[in-house]
Structure 1
Amino acid sequence: MPRRITAILAVSFGSALVVIDGAIPTVALPSIARDLHVDSASVVSIVTTYQLILVMALLPFSGLGDRIGLKRMYQIGQLIFTIATILCFFAHSLAFLLVVRVAQAIGAAAALSVSSALVRAIYPSTALGRGLALNSLVVSAGASVAPTLGGLVLAIAPWPWVFASAVPFAIASLLFGRSLPDPKLRPEPFDLLGAVMCAAMFGLVIGGLESGVHGDSPVVSAAIVLSGLFIGLLVVRRGAREPAPIFPVDLLRRPVIALSVVGGFCAFIASMTLLLSMSFRLQHGFGFSPSEAGAVIGVWPLTMMIVAPAAGALSDRYPAGLLGGIGMAIGVVALLLIGFMPAHPDYWDVAWRMSLCGFGFGLYLSPNARLVIGSAPRDRTAPAGGLVSTTRLVGQTTGATMVAALLALGIGDGRVPALVACGLAFVAGICSLARLNPAVRRPPDAVAGEPAE
């Protein structure tokens, strides 16, 4: 137990590092733009570049971690991140800062790609849900704290210290990392071509969608997206012939994992669509001040911080399909209530609806992640964890892109985003309930008479 606690601290600090480093720079963007003499539109690339590299690198790094060791991969990521952060103090141009952010994203992706696999190795199977819930709690807390922490740092120090504020988490994770388990390595050589193709697939699709939303040539944007989809088709066909592909086609053949990924993707799109659009709706439609809007939107992650650990513990005892179905039913009702709010709502009118919605999504997401990781073969835990993280990041990015598109159409600051999110939550709920079917939980290679997982 003492070693397990130290290992849990190592993974928790590493998770906090990734989340804080991704969210905290947003408050520093105006200061960076002023000091580096660039416009506001250009400086946003500091955030989007980090997110894009993170999505592209997660699955390739999870496959590499299986070959070189999960513990080694995790600590290499922390070390790369720490070194890259020190270089922020030498950034006197946007180009150099973007190179540093790419390096930070690579380090963060290396750590995040194997964190769920390490959680499974740390906890016994009967407590896996609680372990993943604790990790989710750290992620939610980091996302909630990051903007406030960034503001406090900027009040007393120049903007490079905003990036440096995550370094203590990396150092703590490295120190505690001696207690991390190191599962058996896979004997197969690393598929470098498959890793490059997988990264290109995500990079082109997401980059093309972002390009289209920001008003670039529709033809060029569509060509970029189609190129990414074509590479994705090649990735899937190539992976179907391999025992342990970089893009985990073998895991997605399992109906329970495929349904969990589709449902999780819809849930993350729904949550990001609502959270981003609510800021515009509250300020433009209901006359809330920015601080009032931030306070009421913050009720959602605060509720999830409370619900996620309980939901994770329940998933060790009750089917994730049932918990997720109940959670998304609550989410659908809450999103309908948000969509049809009174004409002049006060703080509490919005807050209890946001809290109810956060409760429903919290009851869904932790058990969903536990089912994906717990349903994978033990020697494929790292790709399963990478799949969970990739689903979350791609879903959030898609949600942000959807909000931008709705705003461009002039319907992004009304009830439409909430109703779109409601439809996506309904799909997630159907996917969750479908997992209660024993045939769905059975591995694809199981023979008649064998018990389901």
Structure 2
Amino acid sequence: MPDVRLASPQGRWILLTTVLGSSMAMLDSTVINVALPRIGRDLGADLAALQWTVNAYMLTLAGLILLGGSLGDRYGRRKIFVLGVVWFAAASLLCGLAPNAGVLIAARALQGVGGALLTPGSLALIQASFHPDDRGRAVGLWSGFGGIGAAVGPFLGGWLVAGPGWRWVFLLNVPLALLCAPIAVRHVPDSADGRAHGRFDILGAFLGALSLALVTYALIEARRGSLIVAVTAVAGVLAGVAFVYVEKRRPDPMMPLDIFASRQFTAVNLVTLCVYAAFGGYFFLTALQLQVALGWSPLAAGTALLPTTAMMLLFSARSGALADRIGPRIPLTVGPLLCATAMLLMLRVGPGSSYATDVLPALLVQGAGMVALVAPLTATVLASVDTARAGLASGINNAAARAAGLIAVAALPLLAGMGPEAYRSPDAFNTAFHRAMLLCAGVLVVASALAFTTVRPLPPGCRRPECRTHGAVTAPPLEGGRAAKHLS
């Protein structure tokens, strides 16, 4: 049984290590949007290249995050975590030195591989190291400090882009890794799951990532209307079908399909797909809108986005407590509607808009909506399956959210009519941005309707989330489970 106490020196070292590691991935996912206009200008990249700069990272992270947890079980959680930190730093260095958009996109894909190793690994180290009496508090501190990183990410990204330059958004990870990895090797105990056996589901992970990659390519390049795009789209769908076929027949699949026999689990994941598709498109385009259409500096744009994540950090625990008392149905219905209202308020944001009267009200309503729904969403996911599969359920939900954001970043500019050079024209981008916000609002209304018609009260005594305080905007926080071998 793990016996490290949180108040001990070793406990503090473990917490510091896991916070540093997870913060690298958290910061990178929140600061990149602010840097996109400068990246496009310096590298001569069109909108499709900027979409790939975001999506290459999300693609490998979403496709491999479940496999990353399994590798830690088999070969040692500390080993895989340190490998992920070093890998992430090396890929970040390559991003920072990229001479062109193609190299940057490839390096971002490699970053996602590192993120898939260290993101579940950071939580797994806490689950495997701390005494049961201290584990909940350690997870809470880990998620809270991660939330702080998410909150300051846009501000930090804006400051780096406006000051030293966008390359330092990536290069900053190198000194963090040089601090994190030695501490982990020296102070964090290694552990593995002796029950982990069988083959890794490499084929399932490959087919899942391939399907996402092909569909993403088809959506981003669809405006060209070529035969290659059509063939790629069909191949992506076929790869998805093959993924389901393989997962259904493997004895130890990466994503056991029988978990979807729970109607509640299936329903809440459909809500997740809708909600995080809208969020992914919203945060991607809003950072561009503030700089392209309003002419704000990267620092101003990054600072402007602080209220949403700050509200989540401050009030997510209270939202979870409220959902415990009244059940998840109302928060999961009202939350998306508030977010849809925020998208409609963004229709007022354009050239000449004021932050206080136009931008801030939308961000505050967006924050209120996310506060209302994220914690109950996680609680409902955990309650919809057996306790032994809680970590797996959380991992699937997290991966679904990231995949939804990936598809949204690929599809939304196409659906909104953004051309390859749209982000270079304030008027053209502003018009397309407003169309995109209407689409996001519509998807959120669908999410609200799904939640109202499908989500049921939580059963008494169900497992509650340990990540009570968080500021994640790209995906729900990961949760652990004692027998969740895929993520612990």
Asked whether the equivalents of residues 60 and 113 of structure 2 are also in contact (C-alpha less than 8 Å), the reply is yes
Q: Contact between 1:271 and 1:421, CA under 8 Å: does it hold in 2? A: no
Deviates more, 1:60-69 or 1:287-296: 287-296
Matching residue of 2:113: 106
What is the Cα-based RMSD across aligned positions, in Å? 4.1
SS in 2 for 1:290: coil
Q: Is 1:389–2:398 an aligned residue pair?
A: yes
Greater Cα offset, 192-201 or 38-47? 38-47
- The question of 1:242 aligning with 2:250 is answered yes
CA contact 1:43–1:94 (8 Å) conserved in 2: yes
State the Cα deviation string for residues 145-198 of structure 1 (Å, max 9, x = none). Answer: 334323433555465433121234334433443436635141112233223222
Instruction: Tell whether the 8 Å contact from 1:29 to 1:43 is kept in structure 2 after alignment.
Output: no
Residues 157, 360 of structure 1: CA spacing in aligned structure 2 closer, same or farther, 3 A cutoff? closer
Would the alpha carbon gap of residues 26 and 354 (structure 1) be closer, same or farther in structure 2, given more than 3 Å must change?
Answer: closer
- The corresponding residue for 1:192 is 202
State which of 292, 296, 299 in structure 2 corresponds to 1:290: 296
Give the drift of 1:57. 2.4
Partner amino acid, structure 2, of 1:413: H
| 2:455 partner letter | L
Q: How does 1:55-70 map to 2 (within 5 A)?
A: 55-70=62-77
2:229 to 186, 202, 221: 221
Matched to 1:396, the amino acid is G
Which residue identity lines up with residue 109 of structure 1 in the other structure? A
TM-score by length of 2: 0.72
Task: Tell me, yes or no, if the aligned pair for 1:14 and 1:170 is still in contact at 8 Å.
Answer: yes
Aligned partner of 2:213 in structure 1 is 203
Structure 1 unaligned runs (5+)? 442-453
**TM-score (norm. length: structure 1):** 0.77
Cα deviation for residue 266 of structure 1 reads 1.8
Aligned to 1:306: 314
Question: Equivalent residue of 2:219, what SS?
Answer: helix
Q: For 1:15, give the aligned amino acid.
A: S
Q: Distance in 2 between matches of 1:403 and 1:81?
A: 28
Q: Is the contact made by 1:248 and 1:384 (CA closer than 8 Å) also made in structure 2?
A: no
Amino acid at match of 2:57: Y
For 1:288 and 1:165, the matched residues in 2 are separated by: 28
Q: 1:85 to 1:6 in 2, by over 3 A?
A: same
Give aligned pairs, total.
Answer: 432
* Identical aligned residues as a percent: 23
CA contact (8 A) 1:325 1:433 kept: no
- Range with greater deviation from structure 2 (380-389 or 399-408): 380-389
1:413 aligns with 2:421: no
Q: Kindly provide the CA deviation profile for residues 244-286 of structure 1, in whole angstroms up to 9, marking residues without a partner as x.
A: 31133243333343233222222212333444565688899xx
Relative to structure 1, is the Cα distance of residues 115 and 241 closer, same or farther in structure 2, using a 3 angstrom cutoff?
Answer: farther
The answer to whether 1:351 aligns with 2:373 is no
Q: How far apart are 1:378 and its partner, in Å?
A: 7.0
Residue aligning to 2:482 = none
Give the Cα separation in 1 of the matches to 2:168 and 2:346. Answer: 41
**Residue type matched to 2:235 in 1?**
S
- Distance change >3 Å, CA 208–CA 59, structure 1 → 2: farther
Query: After the TM superposition, which of the residue ranges 272-281 and 257-266 deviates more from structure 2?
Result: 272-281
Aligned mates of 1:90, 1:354 — CA distance in 2: 34
Correspondence for 1:267: 275
* Residue 424 of structure 1, CA deviation: 3.3
Gaps of 5+ in 2: 1-5, 419-430, 464-488
Report the alpha carbon displacement of residue 28 of structure 1 after superposing the two structures with TM: 4.8
